[in-house]
Amino acid sequence: MGFLTKFDNMPRIFTSLSGLVFKGSMQGYMTAQLIVIILLAVCEYFIVKAIVKNRLIALTATLFFTLNFSGNFQIYARGHFQWFTQRVFEIFPFLFSFLFLSKFYNKEKYRYYLLSFLFFLIALLTSSYATLLTPFYPSFLFVMAITKKLSVKKRVLYLLLSTPFIIINYLIIKYSSLGEKVVNPPDINLPLLKQMEGYSLKISHQLVTATLPFNLITFFARTFNSSEIKIFINAPFSSIPIYKATILITALKAFIMTVAIPIYLFYSSIIIFLHKKRSPQFHIVFALFLTLIGTLFLSAYTNRFDVYSSIFESRYFYLPGFYIGIIFACFIYNLIPKKPIFIISLLLIWAVYNFKLIDSKFRENFPKTQLWLFPAL
């Protein structure tokens, strides 16, 4: 990992302490992981509640994020302790950074901005993957500049306040093991329009997979092109012959763009709906949607992963799942604000769906392990 590993402080500390305490026991490691997950869920609930001033929104967002199969399965259920330590610990300081930036939005006192920046630096020192948090800050400050009644001078100033976050993130990436991919990306010689088309496809691919329930994606895929996409879902991409792989990539592009357009319209309608309703959560949802797109772009731009040849759960949807959870929670609450029982019922359905999905995938990965949640059907 080179220079980048200098920032992975919490992964190294947590792994070392867990090794000393649990003596290499996988059950011990998983117990420590479970404790951290519970602490993160509790922390998210209280901080999101402080930000949105609503317990039901906080509960909905927390459960969506904690039980999100698409982003969490690789990290939590497959025993990849490294992926867990790399992606979870920076969320703790980020939550406080989010809280203080929200206070800066409401009160416009610069000490809150400085505290937010401080916790962002702590997140970067916690884990190198905190670089993916960067799009949140320019997105939030941009929304602040255009949605509040401010003078032109203040609008420009608030936009400029995002500069330190961007510069620090750029320097970390540039001088890390990812730097060569950023400075000389694989498609750098392509025409600009082709590059933009490629990034649009990659962002749309991630957005579809991170937003829709896993079973719904596979259903749409098989419906869209049963003869090709079915092979594509059920077999590892590397095992498919080259001539079929070309067909699958073409079919995937058409499928992604067909499904992505309604997804973009859906998010846009949420933002418009909250704006027309004058919801106090409008600026948060607007900022988080821009953050979501920025995060997906950053993942594509830095070539952090290659999920573009298939549709499945990914550890890189962990952070997007956090943003999507808050967006959905705010939308559902504003759509049916006086029916908490209905919202709780939706949460129970979501929980059972994800439990069963995780259980079925766990059976596939570890068929000899008797830790199943549901009896075989």
Please, where are the H alpha helices in the chain? 9-22, 26-52, 55-66, 69-76, 81-87, 91-107, 110-126, 136-147, 152-160, 163-174, 179-183, 192-211, 214-224, 226-234, 242-276, 282-301, 318-335, 340-365
**pLDDT tens track for 136-165:** 999 999 999 999 988 899 999 999 999 999
Angle between helix 340-365 and 69-76 (nearest 10): 40
pLDDT > 70 fraction of the chain, expressed in percent and rounded? 76
**pLDDT tens track for 41-59:** 999 999 999 999 999 999 9
Residue 242 has pLDDT above 90, yes or no: no
Residue 365 has pLDDT above 80, yes or no: no
Question: Quick one: CA dihedral 53, 56, 60, 66, positive or negative?
Answer: positive
**pLDDT tens track for 301-357:** 776 555 554 556 778 888 999 999 999 999 999 998 777 888 888 888 888 888 788
Q: What is the CA radius of gyration of the chain?
A: 21
pTM of the model: 0.84
Report, as an integer, the average pLDDT of 66-92.
79
pLDDT, mean over the chain: 79
Report, as an integer, the average pLDDT of 250-255.
66
Report, as an integer, the average pLDDT of 237-253.
53
> Greater confidence, 26 or 330?
330
Each domain of the chain, given as residue ranges in start order, spans 2-365
Residue 135 has pLDDT above 90, yes or no: yes
Give the whole-angstrom CA distance, residue 161 versus residue 112.
Answer: 12
Residue 77 has pLDDT above 60, yes or no: yes
Assign 225 a pLDDT band (cuts: 50, 70, 90).
low
Q: Any idea how long the chain is?
A: 377
Residue 230 has pLDDT above 80, yes or no: no
**pLDDT tens track for 89-129:** 899 999 999 999 999 999 999 999 999 999 999 998 888 78
